[in-house]
C-alpha cells in the first residue's frame, strides 16, 4: 500500500490496454497488479467486459482498462465486445497497444492503427511474447512498427515472464497527466466481487471445455451471501448455454465436468476473497442468447 502525499508533481490517469484477441492483455494486467482480476485462457475473446485495475506507484496512480480484443465481426455479441474496447479508448488518457510478436495478426493490427490515427492521444506500444522469438526478428518488428505510427515509446516485453515490465511502467508513468489519485491507496479494482466470481467461473468453462462451448457460455451470480462475519461466502451461479446438446458436455458424465469447473473456480475465488467459499453451479439453456441483443444486455454485456 502506498501513502500518497500532496505532491504537486503526482501523476494519475487512465490507461486503456488495446490489442487484437489473445495477445496477452489480461495476463499483462494481472502481472502488473500482482493479483488476478482479469480472466485468461488460450481461446480468443475471453475478455468480454471492460475490466479496471489500479496500480499504485510512489509518484503515480495508473488506472488500467483491460479491454476485449479488437477485431472485425458482424456477430451481435462480438460487435458489443468491440464497442466496449473502442469506448475505453475514448475514456483513456494514454493508450497502451499490445502486440503479439510470436503470432502477428496483420488484419486486426492494421485496423487498430487506423483507429489510433483518430484518437489524438499519446500511445505506447508493447511488443509482447519476446521470449518466443529470435532477437533479429524482434529488431525487424521494432523497425516495422516505427514506420506505422509515431509511438511515444516502443517497449519489448514478456507479460508471462515479467520481462521489461519495469521499463514499460516507467514509460507509461512519464506520459500520464499531472493530478491527484482517483482511488484510495488500497483500491485494486472497481469491479464488484460478484462480477469477479462470475468471471472466474467463466474462465474455467473456457479452459476445461472444448472449442464449441466457451463462446456459447455466460455466467451470472444468482446469490452471494456472506456468513460468519465474512469468513464464509455462499455463491449460487448459473452457466447459461445456447443449445441442449451443450448441457451434457458442461455437466459431464455423472456430473464430473461441472464438478471440475466448480472446484477450480472455487479455489480462485477463495484466493481472491480471502475467505472460505461454498459454490453451487447450475446450468440453464437460453437458446441463441449471443445473437439476441436483449439477452446480451441482460447477461451483462
**Does the pLDDT of residue 54 top 70, yes or no?**
yes
Q: What is the pLDDT of residue 108?
A: 79
Beta bridge partners of 55: 62
Which CATH code for domain 193-298? 3.30.300.20
**Does the pLDDT of residue 71 top 50, yes or no?**
no
**Does the pLDDT of residue 41 top 70, yes or no?**
no
Q: Which of 7, 113, 105 minimizes the C-alpha distance to 58?
A: 7
Domain ranges of the chain: 11-174, 193-298
Of 102-111, 174-183, 205-214, the one with minimum mean pLDDT is 205-214
Rounded CA-CA distance 291/298 in Å is 13
Mean predicted confidence (pLDDT) in 198-211: 88
CATH superfamily for 11-174 is: P-loop containing nucleotide triphosphate hydrolases (3.40.50.300)
Mean predicted confidence (pLDDT) in 184-201: 90
Domains 11-174 and 193-298 share a fold: no
Residues whose CB is less than 8 angstroms from the CB of residue 273 and which lie 6 or more positions away in sequence, other chains included = 193, 197, 233
Rounded CA-CA distance 288/301 in Å is 15
Phi-psi region of 300 (alpha: psi -120 to 50; beta: other; left: phi over 0): left
Amino acid at each position: 500500500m502506498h501513502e500518497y502525499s500532496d505532491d504537486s508533481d503526482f501523476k494519475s490517469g487512465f490507461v486503456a490496454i488495446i490489442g487484437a484477441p489473445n495477445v496477452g492483455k489480461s495476463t499483462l494486467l494481472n502481472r502488473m497488479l500482482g493479483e488476478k482480476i482479469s480472466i485468461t485462457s488460450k481461446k480468443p475473446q475471453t475478455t468480454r467486459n471492460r475490466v479496471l485495475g489500479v496500480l499504485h506507484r510512489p509518484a503515480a496512480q495508473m488506472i488500467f482498462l483491460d479491454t476485449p480484443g479488437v477485431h472485425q465481426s458482424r456477430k451481435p455479441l462480438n460487435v458489443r465486445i468491440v464497442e466496449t474496447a473502442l469506448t475505453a479508448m475514448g475514456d483513456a488518457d494514454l493508450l497502451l497497444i499490445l502486440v503479439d510478436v510470436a503470432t502477428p495478426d496483420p488484419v486486426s493490427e492494421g485496423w487498430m492503427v487506423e483507429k489510433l490515427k483518430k484518437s489524438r492521444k499519446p500511445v505506447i506500444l508493447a511488443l509482447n511474447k519476446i521470449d518466443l522469438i529470435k532477437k533479429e526478428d524482434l529488431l525487424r518488428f521494432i523497425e516495422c512498427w516505427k514506420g506505422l505510427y509515431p509511438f511515444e515509446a516502443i517497449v519489448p516485453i514478456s507479460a508471462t515472464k515479467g520481462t521489461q515490465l519495469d521499463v514499460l511502467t516507467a514509460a507509461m508513468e512519464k506520459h500520464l497527466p499531472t493530478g491527484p489519485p482517483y482511488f484510495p491507496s488500497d483500491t485494486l479494482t472497481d469491479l464488484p466481487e460478484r462480477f469477479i466470481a462470475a468471471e472466474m467461473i467463466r474462465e474455467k468453462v473456457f479452459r476445461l471445455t472444448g472449442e464449441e462451448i466457451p463462446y456459447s457460455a455466460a455466467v451470472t451470480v444468482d446469490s452471494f451471501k456472506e456468513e460468519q462475519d465474512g469468513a464464509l461466502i455462499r455463491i449460487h451461479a448459473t452457466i447459461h448455454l445456447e443449445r441442449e446438446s451443450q448441457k451434457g458436455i458442461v455437466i459431464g458424465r455423472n456430473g464430473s465436468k461441472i464438478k471440475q469447473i466448480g472446484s477450480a473456480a472455487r479455489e480462485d475465488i477463495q484466493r481472491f476473497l480471502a475467505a472460505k467459499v461454498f459454490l453451487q453451479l447450475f446450468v440453464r439453456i437460453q437458446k441463441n442468447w449471443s445473437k439476441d441483443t436483449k439477452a446480451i444486455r441482460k447477461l451483462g454485456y
